[in-house]
Amino acid sequence: MEFNIKSGSPEKQRVACVIVGVYESRKLTFAADLLDRISNGFISDVIRHGDMEGKLGSTLVLHSVPHTLCDRVMLVGLGKEREFRAKEYREAVRASVKALTQTSASEAVSYLSELTVKKHDVEWMIEQATVVTLDALYRFDRFKSKQDESAREPRKLTLAVPRRSDLADGEKGLQRGLAIGNGMKLAKDLGNLPGNVCTPSYLADEGRKVADAFGGEAEILGPKEIAELGMHSFLSVAKGSSEEARLIVLKHQGAKDKSDKPIVLVGKGITFDSGGISLKPGEGMDEMKYDMCGAATVLGAFRAVVEMNLPLNIVAIVPTCENMPAGNAVKPGDIVTSMSGQTIEVLNTDAEGRLILCDALTYAERFNPATVVDVATLTGACVIALGHIATGLYSNQDSLARELLAAGEEVADRAWHMPLWDEYQEQLKSPFADMANIGGRPGGSITAACFLSRFAKAYDWAHLDIAGTAWKGGKEKGATARPVPLLVQFLQDRADIALGNVVRRGRPRREAPEVADDEQD
């Protein structure tokens, strides 16, 4: 779909549909009021008769509104005016896009992007409208023999800005929104692909394509090179599969000084997780194709930031393999040696994500990173603790945790700071090795993070457990692309700091900020 930015009066738009808002108080937005005046109170009459109450997310399409040039006027409920916030704005935009796909309108102009959301500027309004629109339009029907015709994607959507002087900021927001949306689409596509298609080698090829498309660097290591690095913990997980392991390393040299320390993103890439010898129950095992969503979101975030050409040095590291049962597969009780030289007693082969991540975290040291953030569908215990709303966040630096939390709040991709106290490390003791790969059921997500922390002592590090947020089940089954928005906002904030700009945090950039069920992978 084509996007456009425009400043102009709604009654002058000769398009298939003009989108405006209505509050629960029956108050019309500025754009809706202009249409009401030129139509001699037509919209007010509709509202007065109770056909549109302004409830948040409700929509009503009006045809042939008198004295207007458009074919349709869509009214979108905005809820209570005094409570109209970023969350309500996103919901209103999403509802308008969903309703638009149920019409035959090929072009539309949305005036929702002209609304006022406290502490947010035009650039943010356009960016978020673009991201939400692309997310709402996303469909994954690659493997269906017949396409779903129940929803039609418009050919063009124009997002309105209040003044001509806002056009430049609107264009900036649009380009950011498109980059984030494209990154999210990549993450969702990779996550939704079946395990017989999205193999480790396929994931490596997709990573290389991203790097090649935007002038980045890609290095793909196979089993021989991985073994030479001493990544025996990683390779122990891949032993039971006929699919060979891959280590994907992508680089973006965007900083003015190429010697600047990079920010490293690490993504767990288990393209299918059977549990290995500690086999998972059959019910719901199909969803274990999503166990590479950490890798998918790292690749998606990397795509977004290289498309935006952020002035940062960024490295993406993805260890990827399958976890399968076989005669040669790693067994409970086996002891493996990690790249760091630390030994691990494998008590449960279904706690495999940490076994591949620990070697990737050690590998990250060679880049002398400023910060390392790993992303993984790591533990069922995190789902029990936080449900499907918040991503679990662990860090060895509280300041880094605060950065990530604030970035998530800015883009509605929320995380929650979890403890990483030394007392939990006791649960990982092993009588036969330096550590066990599980610490028992209590605090399973915490002890998994504690395990990873042992391999991240050389730098500032954060871990995002996305087991509860990476995908949805049921009728809406599919990958969510979380936490791509959080990661991109975090990196944008770091880029702003590098450029000496004020970090946008719920307010225009020109203003100064306020001071402010189990543990298995």
Binding residue ranges for Mn(2+):
268, 273, 291, 350, 352
Output the six-digit token pair for 39. 């139509």
Q: In sequence order, what are the residues at sequence separation of 6 or more whose Cβ sits closer than 8 angstroms to the Cβ of residue 209?
A: none
Chain centroid to CA 255: 24
CA 276, CA 245: separation in Å to the nearest integer?
Answer: 15
- What does each C-alpha distance from 425 to 37, 374, 415 come to in angstroms? 68, 19, 23
- Among 156, 208, 209, 280, the active-site one is 280
- Residues in CB range of 45: below 8 A, 6 or more apart: none
Query: Which among 246, 354, 482, 494 is annotated as catalytic?
Result: 354
Residues 510 and 513: their CA atoms lie apart, in Å, by 9
How far is the CA of 242 from the CAs of 196, 220, 324, in angstroms? 12, 18, 9
Question: Which H helix or E strand runs over 157?
Answer: strand 156-160
Residue numbers in the known binding site are 268, 273, 291, 350, 352
224 is catalytic: no
Numbers of helices and strands, H then E, in the chain: 14, 20
How many other C-beta atoms lie within 10 A of the C-beta of residue 268?
30
Say which residues have a Cβ less than 8 Å from residue 399's Cβ, sequence separation at least 6.
none
CA distance 281 to 285: 7
152 noted as active-site residue = no
- Copy the structure tokens of residue 236: 């122990």
CA gap 355, 451 in Å, rounded: 9
Number of neighbours of residue 311 by Cβ within 10 angstroms:
15
Is residue 467 within 8 A of residue 87, CB to CB? The reply is: no
Distance between CA atoms of 512 and 502, rounded to whole angstroms?
7
- The residues annotated as belonging to the active site are 280, 354
